[in-house]
A and B are shown apart, each in its own frame.
Chain A
Amino acid sequence: MGHVLAALPWIGPALILIFGVVLYPAVVMFYNSTRDISQSGVDKGSAGLDNYIEVFSFPYFWPIFGRTIIWVVVVVAATVIISLGLAQILNKAFPGRRIVRLAVIIPWAASVVMTTMVVYYGLEPYFGIINKFLVDVGLVDTPEGYGWTRNPATAFAWSIVVAIFVSLPFTTYTILAGLQTVPGEVLEAAKMDGAGPVRTYWGVVLPQLRSALAVAVLINIINVFNSLPILKVMTGSIPGYDADTIMTMIFKYIQNQHKVDVASALSVVAFVIVIVIVAIYVRVVKPMKEV
């Protein structure tokens, strides 16, 4: 007990800030998920588990759930793979490397909404530069371009592209930092042993990156799962629920249907799902394991 008291001055401020700010809204979220709240926002009494029943009985819930998993897995996996390659390039010495490194950082600095908006704008039929380019090189044969953001499948695919794009800087930089720590002697030793570059990478470099990667992937999983703006912008005009993930569905419950209560219930469900995903990840990858 004495230990805990000794710790308080050190961790107390953090606890106060977390409990003081985050706890109450989180409790409100759980509480709202069991209330019947009118469209205007007036609390009409208890709803029991009705909101949860509505969430699960929504005919599109399971497709949306499946799409959410695809979204997280594809974006995170592709981000990691591309980042590994990107980090290799940025780790090599060449004139102008500093500028390239700075460029890679821009999507991190820019707001995700604006990056998405500008891609959306580029993809629009009639106005979009990207569409114009595709028409000019003959890949699209309608003169006004193709409605990439008008069809669920292509809009979702482009959303994945944007999500990967904005996740790259953080992941790449984490790996890049990890690469700095690969001891030069070990690399030389591997070389002496006659290991080729591929074997050196798999046998020496990757294991060294493991812990950095594990943390980066964990953060990416949480962020990608909770990501709303990309899909909101890219698939916003599409009718129906064929391009939605849980996050956009929460948004639609709030914005379109004005059901704060059901949105809260779905948020609680989402919270449970992300905890489960993280738990599975921790189990499989063991980022907390001793190196």
Chain B
Amino acid sequence: MKKSLRFGTAVAIAAVASMTLASCGFGGGDGDDTASGETTLDLLVPSYSDATQGLWEDVIDGFEEANPDIDVKLEVQSWDNLESVIATKIQGGEAPDIYNGGPFAGFAADELLYPAEEVVSADTFSDFQDSFIANAEVDGTAYALPLIASARALFVNNALLEQAGVAEAPKTWDELLDAATKVSALGGGVAGYGMPLGSEEAQAEAAVWLWGGGGTFGDATEITVDDPANLPGAEQVKKMIDAGATQADPGSTDRSPLMDIFVQGKIGMQVGLPPTVGQIEEGNPDLDYSIVPIPTQDGSPMTVGVMDQLMAFQNDDDKKDAITKFLDYYYTSDVYVPWVQAEGFLPVTKSGAEALSGEEALAPFLDVLPDAQFYPSTNPAWSATDGAFKALFGQLQTKPAQDVLTEIQAQADAG
């Protein structure tokens, strides 16, 4: 009897708790129209890591303490869901005030965004590194604020290469093919080169190869995937696959699970990025690895730079001041540097770069950054191109290179 009594009490407590909580959850649209003149900012961000939610909460707490009249509402979504959530909100006329995402040119083309200079102070604006701001410009006006950058580099499992008799990390495609084939030949589930062409981030691996062969995805006005300059890279991908130098089924392998395999020492070489260092530290600190520049056709230096940005949507001009206050606060060195450091990315501000210049883990990436090429993110069609790469590039495993490039171009143009 005692037992059931306790159970009953538990149920009662749970019921009371849920009713109390219900009273906060049931109320409609609180906050937006409070009489006290308080401004509410909606902030929609993707989850970079398990720390993301906490990092933003810290930023917001600090900001709200300094600005008690501004209330920041945080919404964190996984990358998988981020873009459908923002599209739904925009369709409903409820864009967030500040949004952290990738492609922004489409929003700018639809005239939804504030020019960057209008939502940060001149001091903050001039602190951005010029090359990053240039990547946020449409027709000479920056519509997005650089948030974080990353550069790619080749992660090499030293032990496996040594075991396969490869003396030095490869610098050219030929050396890479040779080294990877030898490592693959070790057997036992070991793969020479980890090639993730699956939908998760196919555009990145595509850039590694197509740009490494002298190609490009296009510029601010034109998308040029189906271009002779891109063919050598695509052909080389096929050559790697056909030679058995990669893991099985590269066309449909996503990059995150593949990196887990590299971390555990089953893959000779794979292209990684700054947060990979932290993943190895956490998952397999004993791994004997080095980070070298990405091999290219002729050995000339090249890396794929990726920049994510913050955007400010034009919802209500009354909010502009609050947005500016928030962004200025966020980009102060004291707030921004710990944030970017915790996420393991490269800083985009001059002051941030200075503060983190001594960071050993980031050094190999800061070294290659000057040679970085970026996606044509200032082209409104980039978002469609990005989708086309994700959906189609992996077909290289089974289809002729030219056909795949043609198909991607067609889907990008149709967007």
Instruction: Report A's interface with B, CB cutoff 8 A.
Output: 37-43, 54, 124-127, 142-144, 146-147, 149-151, 236-241, 252, 254-260
- With contacts A239-B391, A258-B87 known, is A39 near B106, CB below 8 A? yes
Residues A144 and B390 in contact, CB atoms below 8 Å apart: no
Residue from the list A39, A143, A238 in contact with B252, Cβ < 8 A: A238
Q: In angstroms, how far is the closest chain A Cβ from the Cβ of B383?
A: 5
Interface contact B110-A256, CB-CB below 8 Å: no
* Complex interface bits, B392-415 against A, C-beta within 8 A gives 1, otherwise 0: 111101000000000000010011
Assess the B391–A258 pair: CB atoms within 8 A: no
Does A239 contact B106, Cβ atoms closer than 8 Å? Answer: no
Contacts of B257 in A (CB 8 A): 124, 126-127
Q: Which residues of B contact A258 (CB under 8 A)?
A: 83, 87, 106, 383-384, 387, 415
Q: Which chain A residues border B106 with CB–CB below 8 Å?
A: 38-40, 258
9 additional A-B pairs beyond A40-B107, A239-B197, A241-B391, beta carbons within 8 Å, are A39-B383, A127-B257, A236-B199, A238-B199, A238-B251, A239-B395, A257-B384, A258-B384, A258-B415
Expressed in whole angstroms, the Cα–Cα distance for A195 and B13 within the complex equals: 60
Number of CB contacts from chain A to chain B under 8 A: 117
Query: In the complex, are the beta carbons of B393 and A126 less than 8 A apart?
Result: no
Which chain B residues lie closer than 8 Å to A238 at the CB level?
A: 198-199, 251-252, 394
Contact of B110 among A40, A239, A260 (CB under 8 A): A40
Which residues from A are CB-within-8-Å of B152?
Answer: none
| Chain A hits for B189, CB < 8 A | 126, 142-144
Q: Is residue B188 contacting chain A, with contact meaning CB distance below 8 A? A: yes
Report yes or no: B112 in contact with A42, Cβ–Cβ below 8 A.
Answer: yes
A residues in contact with B188, CB < 8 Å: 143
Are B411 and A41 in contact, with the CB atoms below 8 A?
Answer: no
Asked if B312 is at the interface (CB within 8 A of a chain A CB), the reply is no
Report the minimum CB–CB distance from B210 to chain A (whole Å).
16
12 contacts between A and B (CB under 8 A): A38-B106, A38-B110, A40-B90, A143-B187, A147-B252, A151-B252, A236-B199, A237-B394, A238-B252, A238-B394, A241-B391, A256-B387
Chain A neighbourhood of B248, CB < 8 A: 125, 142, 144, 146-147, 150
- Flag if A151 contacts B91 (CB, 8 Å): no
Q: Mark B227-270, 1 if CB is under 8 A from A, else 0.
A: 00000000000000000000111011110010011000010000
Report yes or no: A252 in contact with B391, Cβ–Cβ below 8 A: yes
Query: What is the distance, in angstroms, from B394's C-beta to the closest C-beta of chain A?
Result: 3
**Chain B residues with CB below 8 A from A146, complex form:** 248
Q: Give every chain B residue within 8 A of A252 (Cβ-Cβ).
A: 391
A115 CA / B282 CA spacing, docked (Å): 28
Name the residue in B109, B202, B248, B260 with the highest tally of chain A Cβ atoms < 10 Å from its Cβ.
B248
Inter-chain contact B415/A41, CB cutoff 8 Å: no
Within B52-73, the residues touching A (CB, 8 Å) are: none
Q: What distance in Å separates the Cβ of A241 from its nearest Cβ neighbour in chain B?
A: 8
Q: Is the CB of B202 within 8 A of A239?
A: yes
Considering the chains assembled together, what is the distance between the CA atoms of A185 and B107 in angstroms?
72
- From B388, B390, B393, B415, A39 is in contact (CB under 8 Å) with B415
Is B84 close to A, CB under 8 A?
A: yes
- The residues of B that contact A240 with a CB separation of less than 8 Å are 391-392, 394-395
Q: B251 contacts A239, CB within 8 Å?
A: yes
Q: Is the CB of B392 within 8 A of A257?
A: no
Q: How far is the CA of A150 from the CA of B90 in the complex (A)?
A: 35
The answer to whether A126 and B87 touch across the interface, beta carbons within 8 angstroms, is: no
Q: Measured between alpha carbons, how far is A104 from B152 in the docked complex, in Å? A: 48
